[in-house]
Amino acid sequence: MGDSKYSTQHSVLSTALVVFAKAPIPGQVKTRLCPPLTPDEAATLHGSFVLDTLEGTKFAAAKLKLPLDRYLACAPATHVFFKIMEERQGVTLIDQVGDDLGARMNQAFRTLFAQGYRQVLLMGTDVPTLPLDHLKRALASLENHDLVLGPAFDGGYYLIGLKRTAPELFADIPWSTDQVLRLTQEKAAGIGLKASLIQPWRDVDTLADLEALIEACTAETKKPKTERSFSARTTGVLELLAKRLRARA
């Protein structure tokens, strides 16, 4: 159950939520959007998504009264952006460790289960409009399943939750392909994990994804601010990008 000091501090809280994020470094994030975006534009968009995710999960934990501790898994771990997020968003930083995405996710699960958590949710930052109750559904699903997955429209997943380590789920997976979800489900069945899926959602990897996001954001501006799923910050970024993309076309 991990060291006693840590377990005592978190004796009431049984769930860890890990947000996986890269620092918004131009040329290292959202590269599939470049071109037509510039590396600086892609980094700005990514940084806004990270903030959306951290703000949204903080709000969800408070409003939905979800008993969870929030972590930010960082790459590169030493970037000042993450220190700022730690101070402003109240997350605990952990390093991303491993040669590929699967190894890094597996290590994050191992680290947090070793600290005494009974269940761990891990999510990315590419779903800025994800409804907060999806986290609640994922946690509810883990009550009677070993594994929960949030399918992405592109064949991957935007969220994964486990009640124990399962390194097999992260080995020999062709990441960033449309085979990720299917192969993960097959591996889960092969090792006897009882799995469930929550509602699919679109993540933002390609220009088509970005265009769909811009269209959704534009439609939302007609709604009252209290009913919008886009933050004012991301709305501003998307409006600027839309203007620039039209000019370049």
87: buried, middle or exposed (CB in 10 Å: 19+, 13-18, 0-12)?
exposed
Q: What is the pLDDT of residues 137-157, one digit of tens each?
A: 999 999 999 999 999 999 999
| Superfamily of domain covering 4-203 | Spore Coat Polysaccharide Biosynthesis Protein SpsA; Chain A (3.90.550.10)
Residue identified by tokens 């699960």 is 109
pTM for the model? 0.91
Rounded Cα–Cα distance for residues 246 and 163 (Å): 47
Task: Please identify every stretch of the chain with a pLDDT value under 50, giving residue numbers as ranges.
Answer: 1-12
Cα 120 to its chain centre, rounded Å, is 13
Quote the radius of gyration of the chain (alpha carbons, Å). 18
